[in-house]
């Protein structure tokens, strides 16, 4: 009977030869999946024997990974912000760097909830996750708000152009018990007609330049191109969303948009062109790389007058 150490040694060698960027981590995760243990238990007991059934499953999963298929798709889930989110080819795999937008969004929402008294009858804050994919941001926010006891003070809206991705987001919301605090809408960024603007808008939209996609790791070729391709400069989809922010967020609202680590200057210039007088501050991630653009309207911007009958700004807005 093979041991953990022997299987890992052979697995790492095979994955290294196939071009995996993280062969040791991949092998440990897949062997843990095969034997039903956490990766830490695998690492701690290299001498442990592995049954034939688990060894066969490990070999099968290694074969899939050797073709480039992402570990998250093979395992069927991805850890993100302390949660295990279902992951499959319907949506982009959650990335660790996206946790920053969750942290910033949560801090922004809690600040708004606590900066002044909220008398009985105060409507919930409206928070949007645009291009939700698997629900990574929205579900993580909803779970965190529940832990803080603030779930009932926030209405979370999750949108995506892909009905398949939106269904995956619903499944993750149900799996973590927060679907009752969320609303889902199939839309190209935002519905054509908004009932009201949002207090906080979050988005991790495609931001990879079209000509750079071919140079991404092989695993990315298994993910929906729609979730990666940001157009010629990587900012085409983000630019379309910027064009709707005047109607989409309140006069004192905040938008938090994830960007690529080399897009800070281009993002600031884009906001200056599309939204003159609005502010754009780039927030760095833990590696000090530019990661999130915080975009806010100018102080004193006139509040749009919404017609409650049709949910559209009075005076013929978009």
> How do residues 220-240 score in pLDDT, each as one tens digit?
999 999 999 999 999 999 999
CATH number at residue 244: 3.40.50.150
**For residue 61, what pLDDT is reported?**
97
Sheet with 182-186, strands from edge to edge, namely: 182-186, 154-160, 125-130, 198-203, 249-258, 290-296, 279-284
Number of domains in the chain: 2
Q: What is the pTM of this model?
A: 0.90
Residue 238 placed within a domain: yes
Residue 241 near residue 257, CB atoms below 8 Å = yes
**For residue 262, what pLDDT is reported?**
96
Residues 6+ away with beta carbon under 8 Å from 13:
23
**For residue 300, what pLDDT is reported?**
54
Over its C-alpha atoms, the chain yields an Rg (Å, rounded) of 22
What is the span of the domain harbouring residue 39? Answer: 4-68
Residue 313 placed within a domain: no
Given a cut of 80, whether residue 307 has pLDDT beyond it is no
- Strands 154-160 and 279-284, by their bridges, are unpaired
| Mean pLDDT of the region 181-201 | 96
Q: Are residues 172 and 31 in the same domain?
A: no
Residue 279 placed within a domain: yes
φ and ψ at 283, to 5 degrees? -100, 130
Given a cut of 60, whether residue 309 has pLDDT beyond it is no
């Amino acid at each position: 009977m093979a041991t953990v150490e022997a299987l890992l040694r052979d697995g790492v060698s095979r994955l290294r030869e196939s071009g995996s960027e993280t062969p040791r981590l991949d092998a440990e995760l897949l062997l843990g999946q095969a034997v039903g243990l956490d990766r830490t238990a695998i690492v701690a007991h290299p001498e442990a024997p592995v049954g034939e059934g688990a060894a066969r499953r490990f070999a099968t999963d290694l074969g899939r990974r050797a073709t480039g298929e992402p570990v998250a798709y093979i395992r069927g889930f991805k850890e993100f912000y302390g949660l295990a989110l279902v992951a499959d080819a319907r949506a982009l795999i959650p990335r660790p760097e996206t946790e920053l937008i969750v942290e910033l969004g949560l801090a922004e929402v809690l600040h708004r909830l606590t900066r002044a008294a909220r008398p009985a009858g105060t409507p919930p804050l409206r928070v949007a996750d645009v291009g939700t994919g698997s629900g990574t941001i929205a579900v993580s926010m909803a779970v965190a708000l529940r832990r803080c006891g603030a779930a009932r003070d926030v209405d979370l809206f999750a949108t995506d152009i892909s009905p398949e991705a939106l269904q995956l987001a619903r499944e993750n919301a149900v799996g973590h018990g927060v679907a009752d605090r969320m609303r889902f809408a199939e839309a190209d960024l935002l519905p054509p007609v908004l009932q009201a603007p949002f207090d906080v808008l979050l988005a991790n939209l495609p931001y990879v330049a079209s000509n750079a996609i071919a140079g991404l790791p092989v695993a990315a070729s298994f993910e929906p191109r729609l979730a990666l391709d940001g157009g010629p400069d990587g900012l085409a989809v983000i630019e379309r969303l910027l064009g709707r922010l005047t109607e989409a967020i309140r006069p004192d609202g905040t938008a938090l948009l994830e960007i690529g680590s080399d897009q800070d200057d281009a993002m600031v210039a884009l906001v200056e062109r599309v939204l003159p007088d609005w502010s754009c501050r780039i927030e760095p991630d833990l590696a000090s790389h530019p990661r999130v653009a915080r975009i806010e309207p100018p102080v004193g911007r006139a509040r749009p007058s919404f017609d409650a009958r049709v949910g559209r700004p009075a005076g013929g807005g978009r």
